[in-house]
Structure 1
Amino acid sequence: MPPHIALLVNPVSGRRRAAVTAVRLKQALRDAGARVHVYTGRSASDSRRMARLAASDNPDALVAVGGDGLVHQALQGVVGTGVPLAVVPTGTGNDIARAFGRPSGPARDVAAAILRGRTRPADTVRMTLADGTQRYYLSVLACGFDARVNERVNDSRFRLGRVGYVMGLLAELRSFAPVDFEIEVDGRRIAEPGMLVAVGNTGAYGGGMLVCPDAEPDDGLLDVVFVREAPVGRFLRLFPRVFNGSHTECDEVVVERGRSVTIRAAAGAAYADGERVGEPPLVCEVVPKSVEMLELTS
C-alpha cells in the first residue's frame, strides 16, 4: 500500500508562499508514489479542526506547511496519537522548524525526506488555563513584555520576522510597565515585579531570538527565564543579548528548570508558539516524548 501523507496548509502564510509550496510538495509526493490528502485551514480554529480530522485518518505523517502558528494547530491534532509531525516552514518566524531541522532543496528532496520516515521523539508542553482548557505547545510560552510585543506585531499589517519583532519591541518600550508575577517551578517560588517570563521547550522565539538558550526538546524539563524589573535604559542594553543567549548571564535574569511551571500575573496575555492562548493564571507541564517529529534534514 502506498504511504499516506496528510498536508495541512495555511494558504496565506508567508504572503501565500505556503500555497505554492504545498502544490509543489503535493505533486512531488505523488510522483514518488504517495497518496496525498490536503487539508486547508482558513483560521486558527479551522486549522486545529482540520489537524484533528487528518490525524484521525492515521496517516504516515501530517505535514504542516506554514508558520509556527500552523504548527501549533497541527500539534493539537497529533500529540499523543503516534502520527509523526513534519514542518515545512513558510512563515516569518519559523522557530519550530529551526529547532527541529529546516528542510532544504527542491520539493522532490523534501518529499523524499518525508517518505524516508525518520523521526525523533520530542517533548511537548501541556498548558492548562484558568477555565480548565488545555492546549499543547512545542517551543516557548511568553508572558509580559514579549507577549505585548507579540500582540503589537500580530496587529501590524507588515510581517517582517525578526526585524518586525525588534520594531515592535522598541514601540512597546514607550508604554510598558513591569508586571507583578508569581511563578512556581516545581514548588520553588518567585514573586516580584518583572519584565517578562518565558517557559521554553525549545530555545527560540521571535524569529531566532534565543530566550531560553539551553532548552532541549527531549530532556523532560522546561527552561524558565524570568527578567526582573529593570529601568528602561538597562533593559534596552540587556535585551539585545537575547540574540545570542548571553542575557542569562545578567544579574536581572533568573533561570530555573523543572517539570511543572505555574504563572500568575497581574495583567497581560500569554503567547505560545507565537499564538495567543489566554491569560494567566496558567500551568505548564512537560509531557515527555509525546510527539514524533519527522526529520527533514539530511
Structure 2
Amino acid sequence: MTRSVTVLTNPTAGGGRAVHASRRAVTHLRERRLSVTTIEGRTAGESLELLKKAVGSGTDAVVAVGGDGLVNLALQVIAGTGTPLGLIPAGTGNDLARALGIPLDDVTRAADLVVDGVVRSIDLGRVGTRWFGTVLSSGFDSLVTERAGRLRWLGGPLRYNAAMVLQLAALETLSYTIELDDVELHLDAVLVAVGNSSSYGGGMAICPTARVDDGLFDITVVRDVSRTRLLALSPTLYRGAHVDLPEVEVYRARNVTVHCDGMVAYADGERVADLPVTIECVPRALRVFVEAGSPLRT
C-alpha cells in the first residue's frame, strides 16, 4: 500500500502550468491521507540528487508533475528499482502519460490513480545507462530540436516553428546503417524513430502500433523524400496513417543500433548522444500507476 510519496515538479513545464498542477495534486494527495514530500529543484541536476535521496530513503512512490522531460529525469533514478511512478501531466508533450491512458487534463483524477494503487509494469528503452520511455529519434526531427535550442531568443511554439522552417530549407537525405537484432540495413532516409511508445511531440503517432508492454521497439523509417513531400506527410503523423505510405517502412526489434555520420539522437525530448547509439528494450523496467481496467499487461 502506498503511504508516502515524493512529488517531483518542473516549475517551468507547460509555461508554469506544472506549478499550479503540483499544488492541486499535493493538496489532494494529503486530503486522501498520504504523506507527501515535494521536490522542486532549481536545476535538473539538483532535482536528480534530491530524488536519489528520496528513493534511497524508502519513499513508497514518486509522482512526476510536468512533461516527458521531467519523466525522463525521474526514470534515471527509479528505472529498475521497483519504486512505482505516478504521472500528473503538465508539460507540452505528455506522451508517456498519453500511452498509459493517464488523464491529461484532470489533476485530481491523475492523482487518484496513485492513491488507488493499480500498478502495471512497462518496458523502457536504454542507451548505455540512459533510460527513456517514449521515442528515440534521429534525423529531421532531432535536427529541428537541436536548431530550436539555438533560438532561445524566440519564445514558446514560435521557436520550434521557426526551427522547423529553417531545417526544412536545409533538408538532406542521410545515409544510415541500422542493426535490428540480427539484421543489418543500409538505407537513405530523412528520419529514423525507435518507439517504445507510439507518439512524441504531443501526440504525433510516429510509431502508431508500438506498445509499452510487448518487449519490442517499433522502428519507423521515413525514406528519401523531397521538402514538399515531407510537408505533405506531416498531417498523417497525428493519426499514424503515414505507415501505409510507400516512403515509410516499419520494423520491430528488441535491440537496435543506429549509425549515421554527424547525427544526434533525442529521446523524450532530451538530447541523448551523437550517433552511433545502441538501444535496448528492457522489459518490465518501470512500475507505473494506471487506471483500473488498463489494457496494459499485468
Same topology, TM > 0.5: yes
Q: Secondary structure at the match of 1:173?
A: helix
Deviation at 1:167, TM superposition (A): 5.5
Match status 1:220 vs 2:215: yes
Q: Secondary structure at the match of 1:80?
A: coil
**Total equivalences in the alignment:** 291
Deviation at 1:66, TM superposition (A): 0.7
- Residue in 2 aligned with 1:94? 94
Q: Could you list the per-position Cα deviations for residues 153-182 of structure 1 after superposition, in whole angstroms to 9, with x for gaps in the alignment?
A: 44454333xx87565433320112222211
Match status 1:48 vs 2:45: no
Aligned match for 1:265, one of 256, 260, 273: 260
Comparing 210-219 with 168-177, greater Cα deviation is found at 168-177
Match status 1:29 vs 2:24: no
Match status 1:234 vs 2:229: yes
Q: Could you list the per-position Cα deviations for residues 48-79 of structure 1 after superposition, in whole angstroms to 9, with x for gaps in the alignment?
A: 33332222223221000011100000111111
Q: Secondary structure at the match of 1:177?
A: coil
| Structure 2 segments unaligned to the other structure (5+ residues) | 294-298
- After superposition, the Cα gap between the structure-2 partners of 1:105 and 1:193, relative to the gap in structure 1 and judged at 3 Å, is closer
Q: How does 1:166-245 map to 2 (within 5 A)?
A: 168-245=163-240
TM-score by length of 2: 0.90
Deviation at 1:236, TM superposition (A): 2.1
How many angstroms apart in 2 are the aligned matches of 1:173 and 1:106?
A: 36
- Residue in 2 aligned with 1:139? 134
Asked whether the equivalents of residues 258 and 278 of structure 2 are also in contact (C-alpha less than 8 Å), the reply is yes
Deviation at 1:152, TM superposition (A): 3.2
Aligned match for 2:146, one of 140, 151, 158: 151
Comparing 38-47 with 143-152, greater Cα deviation is found at 38-47
- After superposition, the Cα gap between the structure-2 partners of 1:230 and 1:106, relative to the gap in structure 1 and judged at 3 Å, is closer
Asked whether the equivalents of residues 30 and 36 of structure 1 are also in contact (C-alpha less than 8 Å), the reply is yes
How many angstroms apart in 1 are the aligned matches of 2:75 and 2:130?
A: 9
- After superposition, the Cα gap between the structure-2 partners of 1:28 and 1:242, relative to the gap in structure 1 and judged at 3 Å, is same
How many angstroms apart in 2 are the aligned matches of 1:225 and 1:107?
A: 33
Q: Provide the aligned C-alpha RMSD in A.
A: 2.1
- After superposition, the Cα gap between the structure-2 partners of 1:292 and 1:267, relative to the gap in structure 1 and judged at 3 Å, is same
Asked whether the equivalents of residues 85 and 289 of structure 2 are also in contact (C-alpha less than 8 Å), the reply is yes
Name the aligned partner's letter for residue 89 of structure 1.
Answer: P
Q: Secondary structure at the match of 1:287?
A: strand
- Residue in 1 aligned with 2:65? 65
Deviation at 1:110, TM superposition (A): 3.7
Comparing 44-53 with 211-220, greater Cα deviation is found at 44-53
How many angstroms apart in 1 are the aligned matches of 2:292 and 2:101?
A: 6
How many angstroms apart in 1 are the aligned matches of 2:275 and 2:53?
A: 30
Asked whether the equivalents of residues 92 and 159 of structure 1 are also in contact (C-alpha less than 8 Å), the reply is no
Deviation at 1:222, TM superposition (A): 0.5
Q: Could you list the per-position Cα deviations for residues 12-44 of structure 1 after superposition, in whole angstroms to 9, with x for gaps in the alignment?
A: 111221112112211221222111111123333
- Residue in 2 aligned with 1:282? 277
How many angstroms apart in 1 are the aligned matches of 2:172 and 2:45?
A: 32
| Structure 1 segments unaligned to the other structure (5+ residues) | 129-133
- After superposition, the Cα gap between the structure-2 partners of 1:191 and 1:106, relative to the gap in structure 1 and judged at 3 Å, is closer
Q: How does 1:240-255 map to 2 (within 5 A)?
A: 240-255=235-250
How many angstroms apart in 2 are the aligned matches of 1:87 and 1:24?
A: 13
- After superposition, the Cα gap between the structure-2 partners of 1:193 and 1:108, relative to the gap in structure 1 and judged at 3 Å, is closer
Q: Could you list the per-position Cα deviations for residues 107-130 of structure 1 after superposition, in whole angstroms to 9, with x for gaps in the alignment?
A: 5444332111111110001112xx
